Structure 1
Amino acid sequence: MLNHKQCDAFLAVAETGSFDLAASRLCITASAITLRVQSLEKNLGHMLIVRERPCRVTKAGQSLLHYLQHSRLLEHRLMQDLTGQSATTFYQVNIATNADSLATWLLPLLKPTLIEHKIVVHFQVDDQSKTHHLMQAGLVNACISTESNAMKGCVTQLLGQMTYRMVATPEFIEKWFHQGFNREAFRCAPAIIYNNKDHLHHDVMLQQFGLTCESYPHYYIPSSHAFAEAIFLGLGFGFVPDYQIAERIQMGELVEILPETRCNLHLYWHHWKQQSEILNTLSDVLFTQAGQVMNTFKY
């Protein structure tokens, strides 16, 4: 039989990535967390946690983590069925998403459902090509990802696509591209890039002009709102989703550069086959409405 306290300690470390944070969550000492995890590993005969910063679970740890999280969901569902949900009870879910979705269409879409069903969401933000790893590691219940293949025990559904265009202000174009959109101009003009995981801009510059990221000046601005604002202010040029820029392009405040480099990013919703009714509700909302919302500002 699994020891309840040992499993709680393991779950806390796996979800927080730290023995110290796990100790704070459970209101015990870090040494007590360590002893409980070590005892659990000894009892099961497997290493469960790789002691790194942040900590990560092993393959055996992933199996246990998935079991414990599913057990927690089943317990929560049973308690709701037996006792009902009180007026002050909120249901928590953990979702991984890319920053642009969170900054644009995701929250407005989910808002009515979150309020009606008293749901709070702990969002984890990562590059859209990496979010499914957070789910694979058992750190979230569901995720939005560009990965189209479903993991074992999961369901994947296409939500829709976000279109990204390379844009800049007319003033920026006049200053840096007055002789055309050529290799020399792109070598000198400052670019706006989200972070070092964002390869869209670098890939286009390499494919179109043979320029590596070391060949041109660029900002790293790891905030969707600040990223777009930097382009709106004329600090640089970069790829921004239609949802944030369609009206500005129509009004002439932004100009699309190199339309042939336009990128359509397909987004998928990943969730476990066995999940709570609350997550089923969120999945239904996303599956039926996300595509339409993402296309709201198409032109």
Structure 2
Amino acid sequence: MSSFDYKLLAALTDVIELQSFELAAKKLFVSQSAISQRIKSLEEYIGQPVLIRSQPIELTAAGEQLVNHFKKVKQLENELAPVLSPDKPLKPLKVSLAVNADSIATWFIQAITPVLKNNRVELNLMIEHEERTLDKLRTGEAIGAVSVIEKPLKGYRSFRLGKMEYCLVANTHFKNKYFKKGVNTESLKMAPAISYDHKDDMHVRFIAKHFKLAASEYYCHSVRSSEAFVELAKQGVAYCLLPKLQIANELASGELINLLPDNELIETLYWHSWVLVKGINKSISQQIVKVGQQQLAS
């Protein structure tokens, strides 16, 4: 294989991002049949399919690697633009990062703020469960990710940030209503809990570990907002696992109560970034590691 035709890779990337051959064609100012032909030419060139033509449209393993490669090349081009053409108006550098909701709600915004203030950056924050953020690196959708997984993907490296400490909390009214005789198997079956979504197994793992209860044995709201977790717990309508860093004031004032101070959950977080990261992206990575290590427990 001599070299890639990047028009073909651009077509593949736009089809998967827009989930439409028609929209990809409009974006690239070509006909829909031209897009189809580019995908076909790419598949013939590498000798295997790159797309699964389903709903939604999915990438094959080979297609995933090609899109990842193309996005890295585009990232390098964006970083070189101000050096090669210093007199041209500087376009914002597009930066996509995959981060878990609890980090967003606690320390992450503080980490990236200085870089956003001092550089023209168009930020795309993809909020994912901390066990799934690396999927965004694997597909090339993000150039960096916060994860509980230490081992980096090929071409990436990881940095230990620190420990996120979680405790099971509720307000006084909720505790007296559901846990007057303590947190146990029977009381947990009656008390409403909260999880981030149906794929979030942090709460499930915690309850299973300490009380041998399966998820089907109690009921649990799904709320895709870490801040909403706090508010629902403060309003006394549910109990939940929350980062101690996020609710330090509520715990200190007694507005929220640690239901199981002897049984807390600790997740170690890691920052993953591309080995060849440079320029603004490198500054972002360095700032994330610095603030993460400052804010999270060692």
Asked whether the two chains share a fold, i.e. TM above 0.5, the reply is: yes
| One-letter identity of the residue aligned with 2:13 | L
Q: What is the DSSP-based 3-state SS (H/G/I as helix, E as strand, rest coil) of the residue aligned with 1:261?
A: coil
2:113 to 111, 114, 119: 111
> Which residue matches 1:262?
264
Q: Deviations over 1:52-109 (max 9, x none)?
A: 3333322222332233223222322332212227665211111111112123321122
Q: Measure, in 1, the Cα distance between the counterparts of 2:267 and 2:172.
A: 26
**1:23 to 1:112, Cα distance in 2 relative to 1, 3 A:** same
How far, CA to CA, are the matches of 1:215 and 1:29 in structure 2?
54
Name 1:225's counterpart in structure 2.
Answer: 227
Q: CA 1:246–1:281 in 2, change beyond 3 Å: closer, same or farther?
A: same
Structure 1 runs of 4+ aligned residues shifted over 6 Å read none
Contact 2:68 2:138 in 1 (8 A): no
Q: Structure 1-normalised TM-score?
A: 0.91
Aligned to 1:40: 42
Query: Following TM superposition, by how much is the alpha carbon of 1:165 offset from its aligned partner in structure 2, in angstroms?
Result: 0.8
Determine the structure 1 residue equivalent to 2:10: 8
* Aligned equivalent of 2:95: 93
Q: 1:131 aligns with which of 106, 130, 133?
A: 133
Aligned residues of 2:130 and 2:147 also touching (Cα < 8 A): yes
Deviation at 1:220, TM superposition (A): 1.0
Aligned residue in 1 for 2:291: 289
Once the two structures are TM-superposed, the CA of residue 132 in structure 1 deviates from its matched residue by 0.5
**Equivalent position of 2:149 in the other structure:** 147
- Other structure's SS at 1:43 match: helix
Report the counterpart of residue 215 of structure 2 in structure 1: 213
Identify which range, 155-164 or 82-91, moves more after superposition.
82-91
Instruction: Decide whether aligned partners of structure 1 residues 35 and 203 sit closer, same or farther in structure 2, where only a CA change above 3 A counts.
Output: same
The answer for the alignment partner of 1:78 in structure 2 is 80
User: Cα deviation per residue 1:95-147 (whole Å; 9 max; x = unaligned)?
Assistant: 11111212332112211111201112111121100110121122211111111
Whether the 8 Å contact between 2:68 and 2:141 is mirrored in structure 1 is no
The reply on whether 1:197 has 2:211 as its aligned counterpart is no
Number of residue pairs matched?
A: 296
Is there any run of 5+ residues in structure 1 with no aligned partner, and where?
Answer: none
1:62 alignment counterpart: 64
Q: Judge conservation of contact 2:110–2:291 (CA < 8 Å) in 1.
A: no
Moved more, 128-137 or 81-90: 81-90
- How many Å separate the matches in 2 of 1:20 and 1:173? 55
Q: Contact (CA 8 Å) 1:70, 1:275: kept in 2 or not?
A: no
- For residues 86 and 173 of structure 1, what CA distance do their matches in structure 2 show? 62
Do 2:194 and 2:222's aligned partners in 1 also have CA atoms closer than 8 Å?
yes
2:169 and 2:242 in contact (8 A); partners too: yes
> Any idea what SS the aligned residue of 1:130 has?
coil
What percent identity do the matched residue pairs reach? 30
